[in-house]
Amino acid sequence: TDHPQNAQLSRAWIDDAHLTNINPPIALEVLNGDWSSLPAIDGAFSANTAHIMAWEEVQAMFRGLAKALPKGAIFCLYGP
């Protein structure tokens, strides 16, 4: 997921790299987002997010991903 203003840039990177196995980024407010309305996903990746989020938001992100990802799915969190 990403802020709406950054999603377009991420989409361009994915398109330029011809990565057909990666879905476009989805903007989602972790505290108020509707995790149940996300498309079916089999993994998630987040970069440079948790260290700049409030602790409450980090916890909400993990709770939401626990509901959205199928059992055995991979969540990759990159960043400092």
Predicted local confidence at residue 51, as pLDDT: 93
Backbone angles phi, psi at 23, to 5 degrees: -75, 155
Residue range of the domain that includes 39: 4-78
The count of structural domains within the chain is 1
Tell me, rounded to whole angstroms, the distance of Cα 59 from its chain centroid. Answer: 14
Which tens digit of pLDDT belongs to each residue from 3-58? 777 778 888 888 899 988 888 887 788 898 788 888 888 899 888 889 999 999 99
CB 23 within 8 A of CB 52: no
Q: How far apart are CA 42 and CA 74, in angstroms?
A: 7
- Evaluate if residue 77 carries a pLDDT over 90: yes
The one-letter amino acid code at 16 reads D
Predicted local confidence at residue 2, as pLDDT: 57
